[in-house]
Amino acid sequence: MVKKLIELAKLVNSDFDGNEEVEITGVANLEDAKPGDITFLADARQLALLDTTKASAVIVPKKVKDAPLPILKVNDPYLAIAIVHNLFATRPFVASGQHPKAVVGNNCQISSEISIGPMAVIGDRVIIGDRVIIHPGVVIGDDVEIGDDTVLHANVIIGHGCKLANRIIIHPGTVVGADGFGYAADQYGHHIKRPQVGFVQIDDDVEIGANACVDRATFGYTWIKRGCKLDNLVQIAHNAIIGEDSIIVSQAGVAGSTILGTGVILGGQVGVSGHLSIGDRVMVGAKSGIHSSLPDNEVVSGYPAFSHKLWLRACAVIPRLPELFKDVRKLKRHYKEQEKS
């Protein structure tokens, strides 16, 4: 693929400021870029890095005035390079059909525009849309529905009855629709399994990392809404609802029946208790634990979490606690001596 720089400038709404005829054939980072590549500079203070790059053009923050090579000035170089890179990296779908070593059940409705890899196993009454890629070793249960342009990477498991919409990407080893973790204790302390008869619904444009888990609901459905991005090893428990465009970083977990609003961000290794309601655009610092519901726009950290700003200040005191403790003991002694005298 070859694109003129002027075309890319239009694509990213750039103040164009270079040679209109420069031809771009790929995307790379600053160090590895070859002639023909476009690259990007995230931070205007690192302008010196441009002196040594071999790229043919560079996307820069608006505040950059001048550079030794053609530049595209944008508000957000990360966003601009993502848009440009997707243009170059996206390859047209080529249907390879169903591999002879895949197994497909009965009464399925599967588009002819499909790629099903070897060792994939698809159950009965499964519906799959156009341009879907089922990688090797994927297992899809009975009565699953999958929309268009979805990619299931190797060894992904989609449990029976789950519903996946369009343009979803699920990375290897992830399990959608295992039973929720629900028991009732009897008089002997034995745990009686509560049947988990719901399903998982995943909306458009969701991406889920590798070896993650999204459990089916006890009743009804666990719901990952449009545009959510879940990282590797994330746990979403039964009946949770993850609001649109939310981000959940690696190894974080959301317990049962908790509802996250739109645009929530959970840092890595965060835990959120069950039956909570987390407002829109809430941000939770890495490793924090959420024990109570939160209104919109809160930024919290710690366990139990509170204001992130206050948390930073509280953390600064923690290493001084031994000293603080000694000081208070001394003060108490002084006070007692004063009392006596």
At closest approach, how far in Å is the CB of 21 from its own copies? 26
Residue closer to its own copies, measured from CB, 44 or 197: 197
Any catalytic annotation for residue 171?
no
Residue 105's contacts (CB-CB under 8 Å, 6 or more residues apart) are: 122, 123, 124, 125, 126, 142
Cα–Cα nearest to 253, from 264, 311, 267: 267
AA identity, residue 114: I
Residue closer to its own copies, measured from CB, 9 or 218: 218
CB 237 within 8 A of CB 253: yes
At closest approach, how far in Å is the CB of 171 from its own copies? 4
- According to DSSP, residue 112 is labeled S
DSSP string of 230-283? E-TT-EE-TT-EE-TT-EE-TT-EE-TT-EE-TT-EE-TT-EE-TT-EE-TT-E
Which pairs with CB-CB distance under 8 Å and at least 24 residues apart come from 223-226?
224/200, 225/262, 226/165
Determine the 3-state secondary structure of 284 from DSSP.
strand
Helical segments of the chain, H only: 5-11, 77-89, 308-317, 321-340
**Could you say which of 160, 191, 238, 275 is catalytic?**
238
Active site residues: 238
